[in-house]
Amino acid sequence: MARAFAIVSIAVILTGWVTVGFFSTFQRQMVFPGPEGVSEALLDRAADQVGASVLRIPTADGETLYGWHRAAVRSGPRRVVLYLHGNASSLLAQLELQNLLLSEGWDFLGIHYRGYPGSTGSPSEAGLHEDAMAVWRWAVDALGASPSRIAIHGRSLGGAVAVHLAAEASPGALVLESTFTSIVDLAKERFGWLPVGPFLEHRFMSRDYAGRVSCPVLVAHGGADSLIDVRHGKELARLFRADEYIEVPGIDHNDMLLVGATASRYLRFLEGTIPATGR
């Protein structure tokens, strides 16, 4: 009996370690799956259709990022929304949001992370932070935007990238849409039966940056988000002492959140932090 119990125990332990090893090996594919069916040629055609300038932005560590700049028609100083997309998304996924921003006098600026369509390299947590800083520097140096007139908007995984950038760059505003407190917290919810924490290479500890972000913050989350539970949004709003919290019942993770009925609150927040006539 004791021998049988020992054999079963060893088998359970070995199965657990094999599973953990599998999780560790393939976590990059889980964290950075990339968009399906999106090619650089498709992006270039779409850019031409919407009037976007295609960008090639160098990073400090030698990669080149594909990006778009869409300039708004405006009468006052330039205002920019620097947009950081989700882990399975692309510049094509938020055209409605881009058009909304342009119609209100905001430039749209977005890039694809390293390893995503049109960009060189392979994605990693450190790499995405390098990418965000590269596009920030392009906005300030090449575009000539004042840091205080740049709003950083991060969605899903992009929210974690946006938090880190906001802590380093001091923008005029920060928008966190449908994002998490950390990958560690999310993984524990998804794989609670495994000791995944120590094996996570890409941790994205957004909650740890709450005390380092000084600009106004908007947090938005769908009440029916099945990928990142709404409690993450509520906790981020609490930790970052959000100036505005938007929760929309019935909205899932991939639904449009900040357009339609909620667009006015999103735009009002942006306008209140970076007015059109300000310096």
- Would you please indicate which residues are annotated as catalytic (active-site) residues? 156, 225, 253
**What's the one-letter identity of residue 49?**
Q
Give the C-alpha separation, 221 to 37, whole Å: 27
Give the C-alpha separation, 80 to 135, whole Å: 12
> Which pLDDT belongs to residue 241?
98
First to last CA, the chain: 79
CA angle 156, 209, 273 (to 5 degrees): 75
Stretch 133-143: mean pLDDT? 98
Higher pLDDT, 144 or 1: 144
pLDDT in tens, 41-80: 999 999 999 999 999 999 999 999 999 999 998 777 899 9
Closest CA to 212 of 241, 249, 233, 183: 241
> Which pLDDT belongs to residue 9?
37
CATH pick for 2-273 out of 3.40.1160.10, 3.40.640.10, 3.40.50.1820, 3.40.50.2030: 3.40.50.1820
Residue 93 has phi, psi (to 5 degrees) of -80, -20
Assign 194 a pLDDT band (cuts: 50, 70, 90).
low
> Which pLDDT belongs to residue 120?
98
Residue 14 has pLDDT above 50, yes or no: no
Sequence-distant (6+) residues with CB within 8 A of 213 are 163, 166, 167, 174, 240
